[in-house]
Structure 1
Amino acid sequence: MKTRYIVYAALALVVGFLIFNKLHGGKGKEAQGQASGSKDGKKKNGPVPVKVMIVKDTAVTNNIDLTGTIDPNEKVNLVSQTAGNITGIYFEEGSHVSKGQVLVKVYNADLTASLKQTQYQLTLAQQIEYRNKILLQKEAISQQEYDTSLSAYNSLKAQGDVIKAQIAKTEIRAPFSGVIGLRNVSPGGYLSPLTSIAVLVNTDPMKLTFSVPERYQQLIKTGSKVSFSIASSRETFTAVVYAIEPSIDQTSRSITVRAKAANPKNLITAGGFAKINLTLDQIPKTIMVPTECVIPDLKASKVYIAHNGTAVAVPVKTDMRTDTKIEVVDGLKAGDSLIVSGLIQMRPKVPLKITKVIQ
């Protein structure tokens, strides 16, 4: 009996040992795995591979892109100052006309006849005035008689000038040289002061009107050159600023500028849309870095540079921006190793592994 109890007790101890070993042995392996994982974690927290760019001074031209409208140098809607039937049209549609050239004539035969009549009377009045002047010198007539003849002469002379002015209004002349458009009248038609004859434009030079933001007001000056392009041509044209609006538009907070562009080949069309590239100034020496390298912060922007194998955060001040770069006016100097990749993992004193140096 005692032997059987001893065997049962031995079996119970073996089973208990196996159960204990199974339970606590798994935890040991798990702990061992965690220890192994911690070793791997140290490997994961090793140096961060990055690319760096050597900072250097560069010359930068400060440009901004704007839009503008193109207008002719001069443009006028030709109308008549008097009414009457059209007796002649002396221009071809779409042709070039010279300043002072007669374009249209209105009936003026009655005025011409009145002028001739007045001229005959004027000739007689002039002769009477001359004779009376001699007689006055000889005291053959009174001063009053001479003054009457002189007044009649001057009156007829003024009347003749009035008729000449009326005749001049019956001739519509070009106020300036340019290209005349499509006519709206025909020979024999009745022309009134409300009737549009045609549009006359001067297209050389052309006027370019655009608006510049208020912050650039001090940088745009008379004589500044402007480059622009239009949809109807692949050429790039140049205009020179000649006038600047003295006040700022309160709605857009911009200032209106006007420039002139030579148009000898008539490639620029009035009423067109212009894409303008305005050169504001040129900075001979500054630092430009990729925009993504500058990290905004609560107090100021910052960048990371590589120093002695670790990352160092440097606060910077920025100014001008382009499509891909930003100007750093304070915080960096030529020769610094700017970190341009792996910025998400950057923290101060993070160890670095430089994979590429961009000069």
Structure 2
Amino acid sequence: MRTRYIIYIALALLVAYLIYNKFFSPHAKESAAAIAAGGKGSKGRKNGPVSVNIMIVKDTAVNNIIDVTGSIDANEKVSLVSQTAGNITGIYFTEGSKVKKGQLLVKVYNQDLEASLQQIKYQETLAKQNEYRNKILLQKEAISQQEYDTSLTSLNSLKAQGDVIRAQISRTEIHAPFSGTIGLRNVSPGGYLSPQSPIAQLVNIDPAKVTFSVPERYLSIIGPGSKIRFNTESSRENFTATVYAIEPSIDVNSRTITVRAKAPNPKGLLTAGGFAKINLTLDQIPKTILLPTQAVIPDLKSSLVYVYQNGVAVSKPVKTDMRTDTKIQIIDGLKPGDSVVVSGLIQMRPKVPLKIAKVIK
């Protein structure tokens, strides 16, 4: 029994020692003091000023530029076909080559027409001689006017027949209607060619046409002579073009107007059907405010920025308009000389103390 009491007393003393060592010993007091000091230090850091970069607002001249997409078209483009049917007797072009206007490209069988033309020529020669003799006889009053008129009509009729055959022969020869590059041919020598058979495509793409659409609001700004800059996926070069035609009506679905420009293409870097990313300079705004995009915070009703005033952050609602990749235009809410916060925006709240790390002018 005494042994049990001794064990209880020993356990009680051990617990008392542990409690004393944890809460009342000099070491425990020092630890508590250190924790309290650390808490005060953390609170001080939390309520300390936020280090930020600020930008001094100033008026800036900026070009009013919009980015649109368009398509590249050939200056002239035609699918070559024959006006008559027959077997092909000659192909006089190489696929993908340059051809000149009027160059013979394909010839269809026409020997029967050539023979008929030759026959008409013989008859015409005889008719000319007959007409000449009758004309002399008429002057000498050896024949009547009616006899001479009959010989003249016969001559003119033969000339007309010759013209008809020449026209038929011309339709058996396909010539290039303009200079350009001819594409892949769809016919072979000896094959039968009909008016429905496509021969090849002929394309002239110097200059190239660039077709695109702009919003209706810019109709009064853009016009013939306006310059555009654009680039394509197939080339790293930047190209320029000049507007030369505008569609006279507005698309009722998109409320846009179609514009067409011409771009020099001496190196052949532009290809018909290509995609153009167009940079269109409409006009210049002489005085406006531009801020880095990250400085403007979207809000439910508008947008806002934080301004440095008397050492603290002050929020200001602003109205925005034109945007670029890195800048945004402010049309209301700021004035030149304001100090706009452009960094540390995650920590921004109204009345937050600020410390200026850098001033951007």
Task: State the match for 1:353 in structure 2.
Answer: 354
Task: State the match for 1:241 in structure 2.
Answer: 243
Task: State the match for 1:334 in structure 2.
Answer: 336
Task: State the match for 1:160 in structure 2.
Answer: 162
Matched residues in 2 for 1:63 and 1:291: separation?
17
Counterparts of 1:58-137 in structure 2, within 5 Å, are: 58-137=60-139
Change in 2 beyond 3 A, CA 1:43/1:65: closer
Counterparts of 1:172-183 in structure 2, within 5 Å, are: 172-183=174-185
Kindly indicate whether residue 212 of structure 2 is the aligned counterpart of residue 185 of structure 1.
no
Give the total of aligned pairs: 319
Contact 2:75 2:209 in 1 (8 A): yes
- CA-CA distance at 1:174 after TM superposition: 0.8
Counterparts of 1:196-275 in structure 2, within 5 Å, are: 196-275=198-277
Q: SS at 1:59's partner residue?
A: strand
Q: SS at 1:278's partner residue?
A: strand
Q: 1:145 aligns with which of 144, 147, 150?
A: 147
Aligned AA for 2:69? Answer: T
Change in 2 beyond 3 A, CA 1:236/1:351: closer
Matched residues in 1 for 2:62 and 2:292: separation?
14
Aligned AA for 2:190? Answer: G
- Report the TM-score, using the length of structure 1 for normalisation: 0.77
Identity of aligned residues (%): 72
- CA-CA distance at 1:207 after TM superposition: 2.0
Matched residues in 1 for 2:199 and 2:342: separation?
67
Task: State the match for 1:287 in structure 2.
Answer: 289
Contact 2:308 2:354 in 1 (8 A): no
Q: 1:278 aligns with which of 254, 277, 280?
A: 280
Contact 1:50 1:352 in 2 (8 A): no
Aligned AA for 2:162? Answer: G
Q: C-alpha offsets along residues 44-81 of structure 1, whole Å, 9 cap, x if unaligned? A: 88877654321112222222222222222222111111
Contact 2:66 2:280 in 1 (8 A): yes
Q: More displaced, 247-256 or 98-107?
A: 247-256
Aligned AA for 1:355? Answer: I
Change in 2 beyond 3 A, CA 1:282/1:191: same
Q: SS at 1:185's partner residue?
A: coil
Matched residues in 1 for 2:150 and 2:321: separation?
84
Matched residues in 2 for 1:43 and 1:273: separation?
55
Q: More displaced, 125-134 or 313-322?
A: 313-322
Q: C-alpha offsets along residues 239-284 of structure 1, whole Å, 9 cap, x if unaligned? A: 2222221212222222222222222222222222222222222323
Matched residues in 2 for 1:304 and 1:182: separation?
63
Task: State the match for 1:195 in structure 2.
Answer: 197
Change in 2 beyond 3 A, CA 1:255/1:145: same
Change in 2 beyond 3 A, CA 1:134/1:252: same
Matched residues in 2 for 1:326 and 1:237: separation?
26
